[in-house]
């Protein structure tokens, strides 16, 4: 790679991190994607990036083996194309001549199926911690159940990502029905508490005796008081899985599945997709539109149930 391209790539990565607020992991991925493109295409300068070079790279990517032995999925291939396109947009902003970003079209990928649970399954999941509370006679066990109840109620009430949930502090303000959360890309959005979520968090906080600054803390035998007690995302995933098993749900249930339930619940009850996009913190409306086929099924059920039925006097 030429010194010019090396320097421009470095400027681009710094721009992503500082001006666009992208996560360090995202910046590292962009570095890797661009490095692979430059290495394969042997381009020396921005003007050497042509449609032909990108097409050759796409063909090469399409034939690369994946870890499971298959070829790379189109979704994975698109990550490379998105990085190249973002780099070209950066060059254009700097007035540097290269391939137009619009010349790069992403591969069509099949619409992914959402991992969803039914409303009855969701209700059983949300009820599980307090059933465990009633069954437990130890102080730690009951406190753990109150914590788990607060976690599940807050996930469903707000649609928070698990990374956002574990970042919350114990100084959370429950005098309001809303709070601001800093999500992906360092973007701030407002999320809202249901009465059930507020009550659950209050009961949990009232029962806590530690002074840790984290809202959700580890109560297991492996809790490290020197390093703080804050739960990790992986810990919350295990908690959700535990209560899904207790609730008799055989599907894989994760915090993200509860986020899916939050979104589909809003849409099925009449919320518009732009509002749901804002509540979820999606940068792109296309990300939110994955939920519409779920609500389409719901509308189909309504149509079959109520349309063209004979009325009886």
Q: How many Cα atoms are found within 13 Å in the side-chain-facing hemisphere of 110?
A: 4
State whether residue 160 is helix, strand or coil.
Answer: coil
Contacts of 283 (CB under 8 A, 6+ apart): 184, 185, 187
State whether residue 312 is helix, strand or coil.
Answer: coil
3-state DSSP: the chain helix, strand, coil percent, rounded to 5? 60, 5, 35
The answer to whether 133 is a known catalytic residue is no
Nearest to 114 by CA among 253, 305, 246: 253
Contacts of 140 (CB under 8 A, 6+ apart): 219
- Total H helices, total E strands in the chain: 13, 2
Q: Which of 89, 184, 241, 298 is catalytic?
A: 184
The answer to whether 251 is a known catalytic residue is no
State whether residue 225 is helix, strand or coil.
Answer: coil
Q: Which of 147, 161, 198, 230 is catalytic?
A: 161
Q: Which of 144, 147, 259, 260 is catalytic?
A: 259
Q: How far apart are CA 187 and CA 181, in angstroms?
A: 8
Contacts of 161 (CB under 8 A, 6+ apart): 183, 184, 255, 256, 259, 281
The answer to whether 259 is a known catalytic residue is yes
The answer to whether 298 is a known catalytic residue is no
Q: How far apart are CA 157 and CA 262, in angstroms?
A: 7
Any idea which residues carry the catalytic annotation? 161, 184, 256, 259, 282, 291
């Amino acid at each position: 790679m030429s010194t010019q391209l090396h320097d421009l790539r470095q400027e681009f990565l710094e721009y992503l991190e500082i001006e666009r607020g992208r996560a360090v992991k995202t910046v590292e991925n962009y570095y890797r994607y661009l490095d692979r493109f430059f290495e394969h295409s042997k381009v020396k300068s921005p003007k050497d990036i042509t449609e032909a070079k990108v097409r050759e790279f796409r063909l090469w990517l399409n034939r690369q083996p994946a870890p499971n032995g298959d070829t790379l999925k189109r979704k994975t291939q698109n990550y490379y194309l998105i990085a190249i396109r973002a780099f070209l947009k950066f060059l254009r902003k700097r007035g540097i001549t290269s391939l137009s970003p619009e010349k790069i079209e992403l591969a069509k990928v099949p619409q992914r199926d959402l991992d969803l649970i039914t409303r009855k399954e969701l209700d059983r999941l949300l009820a599980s911690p307090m059933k465990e509370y009633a069954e437990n006679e130890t102080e730690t066990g009951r406190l753990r159940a109150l914590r788990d109840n607060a976690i599940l109620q807050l996930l469903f009430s707000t649609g928070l990502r698990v990374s956002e949930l574990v970042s919350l502090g114990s100084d959370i303000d429950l005098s309001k029905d809303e709070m601001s959360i800093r999500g992906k890309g360092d973007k701030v959005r407002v999320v809202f508490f249901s009465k059930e979520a507020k009550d659950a968090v209050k009961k949990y906080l009232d029962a806590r005796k530690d002074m840790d600054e984290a809202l959700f803390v580890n109560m297991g035998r492996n809790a490290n008081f020197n390093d703080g007690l804050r739960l990790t995302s992986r810990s919350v995933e295990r908690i959700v899985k535990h209560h899904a098993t207790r609730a008799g749900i055989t599907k894989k249930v994760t915090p993200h599945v509860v986020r899916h339930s939050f979104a589909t619940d809003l849409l099925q009850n009449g919320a518009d997709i732009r509002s749901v996009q804002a509540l979820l913190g999606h940068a792109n409306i296309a990300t939110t539109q994955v939920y519409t086929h779920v609500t389409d099924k719901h509308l189909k059920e309504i149509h079959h149930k109520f349309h063209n039925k004979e009325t009886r006097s």
